[in-house]
A and B are shown apart, each in its own frame.
Chain A
Amino acid sequence: MEGAAGGGALTRAQALSNTAAAIETSAATVHAGRMIRCLIGKSFLGLSAHCVFATIVYQQDAIGFKETKNLEKALGFDACWIHRTRLYSHTFLLSHQCLIERIGMPELHFDPLDLTPLHPVLQRHAPLGRSGLLPALLDAQALYGYISPPVAAEIAQTFNTPLADVHGVIEFYALLYNEPVGRTVLRVCTDPSCALRGGDAVLAAACALAGVEVGETSADGAVTVERSPCLGHCNSGVSVNVSFGRPQRNITFAHVTPDTVEELLDGRGRTTADFWSEDYVGGDLSIVTPLCGRGRRTRLLEYEAVGGMQALRKVLTTMQPAEVIEAMHQADLLGRGGAAFPTWAKWDGASRAPGQPKYFVVNADESEPGTFKDRVLLEGDPCRVLEGAIIGAYAIGASRIYIYIRGEYPLAIERVEAALHELRGAGYLGANILGSGFSIDAEIRSGAGAYICGEETALFESIEGKRGFPRVKPPFPTTHGLFGKPTAINNVETLAQAPYILIHGPDAFQRLGTAESTGPKLLCVSGDVVRPGLYEIGFGATLRHLIENLAGGVVGGKLQAMLIGGAAGAFATPAELDTPITFQGLRDAGLTLGSGAIMVFNDKRDLRDILRRLARFFAHESCGKCYPCQLGTQRQYEILERLAAGRPLPGDVGRLRDVGWTMTDASLCGLGQTAAAAVFSAMKRWPELFESGEAR
């Protein structure tokens, strides 16, 4: 096999200079006469070891945004425009894969037994201690495609971690492999929203293309096809997450059809970064989402131009932490991740808890089927979320911010990284922010394929470099959180609401919603509607308004059912369309808002099949720690599989009830406690579904 630096026809240094030449030529052609020079530098973002920068300096004001896009097109790569202070220069971040594809940079092949290329990676993560384990494993896998025993042993030694523990961590996360897989791995979503848009057909096409069954690798080692849990592109499915190339690049594609699967093999296809397949963002309000859904990231400068970062400035220069918490208390902002816990109470608890240091964690492990709001926020307007996080960190006196983003959201990771870079450059992160004496920095942690890591304590375990097992509570995160220290952890959407509260005041925020459910809410509408997308409404609007007016009504038939709150949510019938969307209103109707996912099913859809998919999701995502969930999610799936196949056994309803109640009553964490919620709501509303074997 070829070595890291020497192999192939081209060395890295040569390839870099070729890159510079290629960009220079393209830029010179596209923007003839206006370019002064092109600078090429290595990545210092820490995003990946294999990125380069290209800064193209133009004559002042010679080039506008549109023209930059033209250049991107001419070069043929997705570029990341990050420079802000000098409008007449543009800095692009080029991934190694771009270079391979467009400029002829040699692809790197590493012998899985050659540890030389691993050492720089380990050196980078070693200072983190055990906490660096997951980042190191992800990077090692990007180099080799999988983690071989010698690589795992080297990593174990670096982090002074038992071999068995490293093995256990690799085994836990779906995106990590301990044996060779295809050079390209296709992970096709077949959860409800994508299933409605043909997920099974795409999966079948992918299998046919590779000549394999689901979960297998083609004989030539080129392609592995897997079934994926929800990828958070429910509005723009079918979604496929693809890992390809060396070093491995990961992209989540949207709008995939059986005909376009083949394109994905070499990394072509539509993503939400493209202006023609961006997320649809609408609704009655535009408090949190004014800068989202434009197919690109809102730059700090643009965010500042519409009043962004003013809340942080106000907080740091005129408010005490206790006043910030009091303002959040007045606003009565409830957590938007699913549990609806008062945000101020988390901040208050963590700020009062004894012990230092304290941590602030942004929970961006959005994985609830049907939910994509956090992805849209992070891809479209990451600065708003980060502003909220810095405010929260100030309120609790934290010394570091961790942003845990699910591994299947590479675009969000890339864009948050770029936003962090901008914020540091502008002095919103780092030492002595805005001259206030408050210092903090933030870092991104990537998940590696585990829904359970959205559970706050499992997320801490994951950052700490362990299997994502939820902890027994109490103690709660406010006193014993990340690394056992006082921690506040909030959902992305929750944090995106904070700047508005602090600028416009709690009263203005409250007026946007109802007395008990204050403020705006993002709702992820997917399934059989005219316009699937992200809708921002004030609490109190009805489901009918959302489905019929905003989302354009039901397509393909009449409304049969809505699944509200994701896989852990509950089904509603057309009779419940006039239910107001508030925490209380939905609870009174026996529903739950959960994460704000609303999947719509027309009357031609087989709800038994939907239930089967939800059950499969939970069985796949159960961590296996507590018995009710470990065993119950599997048994529930088996029973619902029989039911969907039209051959239920006598007594299956009773079994479902017992399994469901046991999971609900006795599970250790929220996953198991809600794993039967949708099934119970379906049993209540359509008992006939569970009786005969005929499809509905």
Chain B
Amino acid sequence: MSDVTLIIDERPITVPDKTTILQAAGRLGIDIPTICYHEACTANAICRMCVVEVEKQRLLQPACVAQVREGMVVHTRSERVERSRRTILEMLDSAVDLSDAPEIQAQMADYDAQPGRFPEAERRAPAPIDDNPMYIRDYAKCVLCWRCVQVCAEDAQYTFALSFDGRGFETQIGTFFDLSMPETTCVFCGQCVGVCPTGALKPRREWLLEQGKTPDEIMELTRTERRKARRAKK
């Protein structure tokens, strides 16, 4: 493996071949924002928050997958980069409930993204799905980072309970013919909840606490549900 020298934000750095721009920038302590990227998941370059300007390249390059090359000159906060990141954040904010996504909120502040930049915008606001005792799926908060689908499949669990409904703006994470989670292949490993960046997937207990229920009430609720389930079985 040979080494490659490149310049990121006017600072030279030498890294091994096949390093991504994101990793190289990280070594310099340059923070490139990401939303969909997760160390444990295959990088798909879908959120495009990590785009950087590479000289002599017509388009902005996604730092999470673009690999370094000898002599490359990278700008991580050029005007074009900032405009793209700001607009992506503003569009995201106009479509999705980001109240449970502190990282994205911090990015919005950092890039001066205005909440409400897009008036009269259609939002994705389906009702929360409460179909199992373990976790809630509140897709009004989903930013479609794909992490849950990936960990449910080849990136971790090989359970394949999740896929997509619709396409384009109408895309939503879903199950086979909208089956409830217990009816799918889901094994309730909880990995999807663990990687969700926006609180769209959340432990049910946490969600109930947020709804103002006390621990005792939650316990009572759980008992009632179990009793119902037992009766249904009989």
Contact = CB atoms under 8 A, between A and B. Distances in A.
Interface string B135-179: 000000001100000000100000011111111111100111100
B120 A665 contact: no
Contact of A634 (B65, B153, B162, B169): B169
Given A634-B169, A635-B118, A172 B164 contact: yes
B168 A666 contact: no
A171 B168 contact: no
A566 interface: no
B62 A622 contact: no
A666 B51 contact: yes
Nearest to A178: B177
Contacts of B174: 164, 167-168, 171
A624 B170 contact: yes
Interface residues of B, number: 50
A149 B184 CA distance: 13
A658 B177 CA distance: 37
A632 interface: yes
Contact of B121 (A625, A635, A667, A668): A635
B83 A658 contact: yes
Contact of A665 (B46, B80, B163, B167): B80
Given A162-B160, A472-B62, A628-B48, A622 B88 contact: no
Given A472-B45, A638-B122, A627 B88 contact: yes
A152 interface: yes
B32 interface: no
A467 B122 CA distance: 24
A163 B169 contact: no
B164 A633 contact: no
Query: Which secondary structure dominates where chain A touches chain B?
Result: helix
Interface string B111-130: 00000011111100000000
B191 interface: no
Chain A interface extent, by class: 35 or more
Contacts of B168: 619-624, 630, 633-634
Q: In the complex, which of the residues A153, A450, A625, A649 has the most CB atoms of chain B within 10 Å of its own CB atom?
A: A625
Given A658-B83, A661-B83, A632 B91 contact: yes
A167 B167 contact: no
B51 A625 contact: no
B169 to A, nearest CB: 4
Contact of B169 (A153, A164, A633, A658): A633
A628 B84 contact: yes
Nearest to B178: A167
Nearest to A667: B48
A634 B163 contact: no
A622 B167 contact: yes
A358 B24 CA distance: 35
Nearest to B35: A627
B176 A149 contact: yes
Nearest to B65: A472
A673 interface: yes
Given A163-B185, A638-B120, A149 B177 contact: yes
A587 interface: no
A113 B59 CA distance: 50
B46 A627 contact: yes
Nearest to A450: B167
A635 B91 contact: yes
B101 interface: no
A381 B154 CA distance: 44
A165 interface: yes
Nearest to A625: B46
A149 B48 CA distance: 35
Contacts of A627: 35, 46-49, 88, 91-92, 143-144
Interface string B59-88: 110100100000000000000100110111
B184 A665 contact: no
A633 B119 CA distance: 15
B62 A624 contact: no
A257 interface: no
B198 to A, nearest CB: 13
A659 interface: yes
Contact of A626 (B45, B160, B170): B45
A171 B176 CA distance: 10
Interface string A21-41: 000000000000000000000
Given A627-B92, A630-B171, A665-B80, A171 B165 contact: yes
Contacts of B60: 665-666
Interface string A607-625: 0000000000001111111
Interface in A418-469: 450, 467
A152 B167 contact: no
Contacts of A668: 45-46, 48, 62
Given A163-B185, A167-B174, A472-B44, A642 B80 contact: no
Q: Sort A-B residue pairs by CB-CB distance and give the 3 closest, nearest first.
A: A168-B163, A162-B160, A164-B163
17 contacts: A162-B153, A162-B185, A164-B163, A164-B184, A168-B174, A171-B166, A450-B167, A627-B48, A628-B84, A634-B95, A635-B118, A635-B121, A649-B120, A662-B91, A665-B59, A665-B60, A665-B80
Interface of B: 35, 44-49, 51, 59-60, 62, 65, 80, 83-84, 86-88, 90-92, 94-95, 117-122, 143-144, 153, 160-171, 174-177, 184-185
Given A167-B175, A620-B168, A630-B171, 10 more contacts: A164-B184, A171-B164, A171-B174, A630-B168, A631-B91, A632-B91, A633-B168, A634-B121, A659-B91, A668-B48
